[in-house]
A and B are shown apart, each in its own frame.
Chain A
Amino acid sequence: MNEVKIMAELDLSPITRIEGHLDFKINVENGVVTDAKAIGALFRGFELILKGRDPLDALVITPRICGVCPTSHNDASARALDNALNASIPENGYLMRSILLGTENLMSHAAHMYVLFGPDLANKKYEGHEAYPELVKRFAPITGTSYKGAVFARIKLDEIFAIFGGKHPHTTFVPGGAPVRPQLNDITRALSIFMQVQDFLENTTLGCSVERWLENKSLKDVVSWLEEDEKHANSDLGLFIRFGTELGFHKLGPGPGNFLSYGVYAQADGKNWLPAGFYDGKHHSLDQSKIEEHIRYSWYTGYEGGRHPSEGVTEPYYEEGEKYTWAKCPRYQGMPVEVGPLARMIIDKDPVVLDLAKEYGPCVYTRVLARLHEAVRLAAKIKEWLLELDPGKPFFGSYDKVSNAEGIGLTEAARGALGHWIKIRNGRIDNYQVITPTAWNVSPKDSNDVHGPIEQAVIGTPVEDENNPIEVQHVIRSYDPCIACTVHVITPKKSYHLKVV
């Protein structure tokens, strides 16, 4: 058997249980993935549609890039306009944006753990494991008890969102703060609904209070937490921590090992709650001028090598040749980088996640735990923000009417770094550019033939059963790709803009 080289090309199209259209093709030799192509399967053309419009129109159009993480586009478009139109934002305005974005990100994390990633824990590959019956009971799609709990917790988070944002998905942010004028009873109602969400988080996910989990400051603390109480060990998180390594999740999907965060949850003091930065083994500050996009393997034409988004060209060019995806290919300092909760937690120097990353490296196990840990931190923070709102003070400040300006809006969606770049000429949008988180993670090969992060993470993955390549699906889903989002961008000249993947 060992002497025979067994090769197979597997077409995993479509990859389901992610948000949107992603196809994946992999080559498997002797049970290991040797090549991978991530194929973004949708292009819409948002930036082209925005060209020549009123700058404020971007506030309504860009969130419709993605119905899963629209609020990150609300935030990015409002911040780009804050920047371009010299907005002044009262403290309540910052808090309100953080509450809405945080609520959506928490909801996204819950959906990822239970609806998108979790059902794979009930995969038949794990039938022989002692925990299997319990994994099926909790995580099986639709019928799993935790799955069902998460579906209803999500609904509650959307209700909190709607109290302040009017509806989810698709509220509208404005430069200068928030348009809503909540009363005290709106805040108490939101807090009351939040308690119901917290019940799910504490009883099902954690087996302890939010505060107790957040006392953990190292991997050693996490181990003692597991031993402290049977409820901890048998919670969903406890189960994943205990059995994740036995199921081999710590050996899957390392990826490029570079991490990027734009920073998010802007505060009135000018800082972000979670900071911006770049990590390649060392911590560096973020320099957005080091971002470029390549298109050699993407269905676009118009230039060679990489270009900064402010100079970006988006001219669709579909062919059946070397190009294979509607996703463009962003690079930072020429390198593929991972974005998402793991990147945010590393760049924030979160002690638990740094410890995990030191022990296991980036991998499916670390990525899933970093996301859950961030979710718990976020839950605690949302409650603080709600309590800090002051209904007696303004939520909206001001912005100027400006005919010629440029603005940059950087923020973080649940799944990673999101940037909007706007150029305004004669009171109209001259160029609007978006780089989404999934464009970073699901990018194809760049001009130098270097694979994108998820492609890299998939290459080298062992595939036990070619008819059930679940290992590869764990890796892809661990990044929480949101393809609706992988939009792409822009255009300077006349032409096209894209939306992608």
Chain B
Amino acid sequence: MVNVVWMQGATDNGCLVSFLNAQQPDVYQAIEKLGVEISYQNTINPSSGKDAIETLERFITGKDQLDVLIVEGAIPRGPNGTGMACFIGPRSFAQWVSELAPISEYVLAVGTCAAFGNIPAAEPNPTDATGLQWHKKEFGGFLGKDFRSKAGLPVINISGCPAHPDWVMQTLVAVLLGKKVELDAYNRPNDFFGEDITVHDGCSRNDYFSFKVAAEKFGDKGCLYRNLGCAGPHTNSDCNNRTLWNRQSSLTRCGIPCHGCTNPDFPEAYMPFFQRRREVGDGWKVVPYIIGAGFMKLAKPSRLKNE
């Protein structure tokens, strides 16, 4: 039996909604076959009020052992340092997190809000919100650089707006099996967010990108990068590569530019979302890229066009 507490702070519940779409394993298999016991989760909890609070108190007072704490949502520290922009029963969300995180074997930040602060922490950050162990690209966040869960690990970040259910489930399964999860520079599982994986990988519009056929407006068949602000080549996650969304598709396949939602600096760094982006990404060799692009345009097969 593995106790899981899923706490929601400054969130829209989207990561939970997304998690319920998990299929390998699905939520039922996780409960029945892997022994996951969801001890507290606001939206699916059978009990309300003081019974619900009592479950949490049992962990805090050490009567029950907390195995996995999942945090969804940013942590507001305002207004005026009270943390009361978000509260659950008798405590601010910030206070719940400070009590539950240190007594948990593993702490998972699910979604870009919990990992990096996301929209609630975007300028002007009205509630002084932050991520669990990061504030945007800066290490520290709410729990501080030195925080380690009981298993000796920092907060494991599974970003995304929302996080893909597979990213959460596979990480959870790996942890339950006692496997070491390799983390990237932002403490995210390398498998899903490593620097060698981008949303661009596996995009159905890659031919259009290669031969520089750029969509001029929404609904065009071309690549969304040049004119419509697609952040796919600058965003580390496997949305198009292996997992897809809801086992069906992805934003870029449906004509919607990637907004960069798994990145620590989402959303500010990607706004305005739908405008022409600088042509060259970090680490790209500018001159060869531009020369190459010119040649690729000349090499364009006639089948590639916007209409």
Contact = CB atoms under 8 A, between A and B. Distances in A.
B89 A170 contact: no
Contacts of A11: 49-50, 89
A181 B17 contact: no
Contacts of B251: 166-167, 171-172
Interface size class, chain B: 35 or more
A54 B272 contact: yes
Nearest to A73: B12
A13 B49 contact: yes
B48 A484 contact: no
9 contacts: A11-B49, A16-B43, A16-B45, A21-B8, A44-B129, A48-B124, A168-B17, A180-B255, A396-B219
Contacts of B188: none
Interface residues of A, number: 79
A60 B246 contact: no
Interface string B238-269: 01000001111111111110010100000100
Interface of B: 8-18, 20-21, 23, 26-28, 31, 42-50, 52-53, 76, 79-80, 82, 84-90, 118-120, 122-127, 129, 161-162, 217-219, 221, 239, 245-256, 259, 261, 267, 271-275
A48 B120 CA distance: 10
Nearest to B215: A179
Interface stretch (A61-69, A225-233, A381-389): A61-69
B12 A43 contact: no
Contact of A19 (B9, B18, B43, B271): B43
Contacts of B218: 174, 176-177, 179, 396
Contacts, number: 238
Given A44-B127, A158-B246, A166-B251, A49 B87 contact: no
Interface stretch (A147-155, A263-271, A339-347, A355-363): A147-155
- Looking at chain B's contact residues, is the secondary structure mostly helix, strand, loop, or mixed? loop
Contact of A67 (B31, B85, B162, B248): B162
Contact of A166 (B89, B122, B254): B254
Interface in A159-197: 159, 161-172, 174, 176-181
Contacts of A53: 271-272
B79 A177 contact: no
Instruction: Give the residue among A142, A163, A166 with the most B Cβ atoms within 10 A.
Output: A166
A162 B87 contact: no
Ranked nearest first, the 8 interchain pairs of A and B with the lowest CB-CB distance are A67-B14, A45-B126, A396-B219, A167-B245, A179-B255, A162-B246, A54-B272, A166-B254
A457 interface: no
B31 A43 contact: no
B249 A166 contact: yes
Contact of A171 (B13, B85, B256): B256
Contacts of B261: 170
Nearest to A116: B43
A327 to B, nearest CB: 13
Contacts of A180: 219, 254-256
B219 A45 contact: no
A326 B21 contact: no
